[in-house]
Structure 1
Amino acid sequence: MSQRKGTIAAALIAVSVVALSVYLYLKVTPYQTVIDHGPSPEARANPYLAAELFLRKHGLSVEHANDLDILPSLDPRRRSLLLLGDHNNMTPRQIDQVMNWTRAGGRLLFVAESLWNKKLGHSNDLLLDRVQLHQSLSKDLKEPPPNVGDDPFPLLTKLYLENEDAPAYAGFNTAFHLEDPKNLAQAWANSARATHMMQLNYGRGSITVVTDADLWKTPAIGQFDNAWLLWYLTADTRVTLIFNADHDNLPTLLLRNFPQALVALLALISLGFWHVGVRQGPLQEPAPKARRQLQEHLRASADFLLRRNGQAGLLQALQQDILRRVRRRHPGFEQLGVAEQWLVLARLTGQPTRAISQAMSPRPKQRLSSVEFSRQVAHLQSLRNAL
């Protein structure tokens, strides 16, 4: 009987599962969705990855490096060197190497990194100063160029080419402006208010200076004619990009990626110093009692009284001791006037009255010099010894 009930229960469960499956199959509607996981690790590590892929797609050989150590191995002929990273740390020797490489036939493109300082007569960008171009803020320009109001795209940089009816448009940062005080540039590109790209010949090579390179980063390179402009500047050459010339040092990387671990390490080091610095016992053994002499005790007592009562207290104690001795030798001394007391002291000690008055008069509150204090103490002691 119990086996029959178990079979019926299993059959009911199986029928329920089948019915539920059929119901869900009829009610559930399948659909597809795309989950964006963001850029790949390669794209996050290389902001110019899209630019590299675009140039390779158009038949150019592209490589990138982290510093200028590869420069001696680069043949300047039909080669473009793009300094897209921070180059403020370049040394004068590296500047000479880059300029000599360009003079030999290379194409150099770099970003102006610093503003021109009129008072100092230079900027903090050695490479920009070497090509004798200046960078300033667009807002500091005295007057806007003519026909600014007629420009339909005032924030875009326009590059005009021969045999072309319309210009190419690029999305440079319009906050900066390039100036050519020596009239060395052979070509340039402007927005409605400022200049953002200049080209000049240098020996057998050429130099292109731009105000920024963000227009060639992902995703800005896909806007306007940004990608085309990069291809135009590097056409028919092999391209080397240097965009990470200034590496983050180890402390910066640790602070960025492991701030909690650094805090814990600093706390551990602090606790270690605190533990080591706590004194566990006396620094030196106390002096044995056998070496202590009466002179040391007297000096220590005198130093203690001087710190506690000051000079006036010590002088007053000597004066009181002198008065006690006089009272024993001259009954009724305390009933005499001050002048008569000094006469008695002069007779008993053999000192002149003037010296007695100087020694026994109350001392002013201001601190005496060491010499004067010693002299006063010696005088009072001589009076006390005479009694």
Structure 2
Amino acid sequence: MPNPADRNAMLEARRTLKMAQSPHAYVRGNTAKFYEWLAASPVSRRVPTGPAIWICGDCHLGNLGPIANGQGSVEIQIRDLDQAVIGNPAHDLIRLGLSLATAARGSDLPGVVTMRMMEEMIDGYAAAIHDPTSGVPGVESDIVRSVERAALGRRWRHLAKERLDAVEPRIPLGKKFWELSAEEREALTTLFAEKHVGAMILSLQGKPKDREVRLVDAAYWMKGCSSLGLLRYAAIVALKTRKGRWSYALVDLKEATTPIAPAAPGADMPDDDAERVVAAARHLSPYLGSRMMPVRMLDRSLFIRELTPQDLKLEVDQFSHGEAVRAARHLAFVVGTAHARQMDPATRTEWLAILEADRRGTLDTPSWLWESIVSLSGSHEAGYLDHCRRYALAA
């Protein structure tokens, strides 16, 4: 089993490699650079201050996707809330716009398409702020809807095959999953024996809360880039049925950390980072928030969530011209709905007026948003090239 220092070295190497693969991957993996720009760029001073609400804080394409609730319904929602804070909703708009613009460049689309994407993005977002209950973005994205339809047809075998490379309820050790220390295994066994943890998992499975829950298998999970220096585990939990048989749930445990995203002055958020992430999920992504719980383990703050077969991320390798524009509107509508459900009608009207105030035409992008995207695209492109040079020299 790799020790913590070796784990971090391997995770850092993986993070460096992934970020060197494309400008879009670099943007996804470098939240810090985004907020450094917000703090330093003269352009950022023109960004309006919206109502203080829960925001994603890292609102890029990969953090949106279909999510199932405990009853099996599926919606496109925000799926990663590690950076979530009570902050300025304009930051989510800019982060999403940068991600879309970078994806468009990766698809060799001309700058005119990026301009149209930003126009549709602000229109889709404004539509959700105006009426967050409609559920209709106006023009639907084929990419977004196809992922949602695929999610509806998935079952445990799909999740096990995708995440575990197996259908039997065991976690295969290898490149993605590493053996636990004795201390980690003991801590996880104790955690899942706690009644409140077992009750949450049973409630999501629709089973009576007095049923037995036990840990079957677990491993350290080398997943993505955000686990660097943090605890991250995958666990298979067995749930006893009325007939005395066992069904299984796959549970993700992730250490919470201090967010990079700036919070609004005086924001009243939980001091514990795992509690903050869960509170944000319940406001921004109710389907996800209903399946999460903050816990303490090994003197660290973690949040746990059951993974369902329907949970997918949006993976955009190539955009066509028309699909890029439709996806921009659809995804901004999703983010706008998450924001708007936290606002009363008067606050939504005031925020909508701020968004519309800087638009020169019915389909124009607010100048603060466009200038932010242009400035950020340039700074991230330069940062990406420097990153690639460092990676090549190190390799």
Length-normalised TM-score, structure 2 = 0.21
More RCO (CA 8 Å, sep 6+): 2
The structure having more radius of gyration, on CA atoms, is: 1
Length-normalised TM-score, structure 1 = 0.21
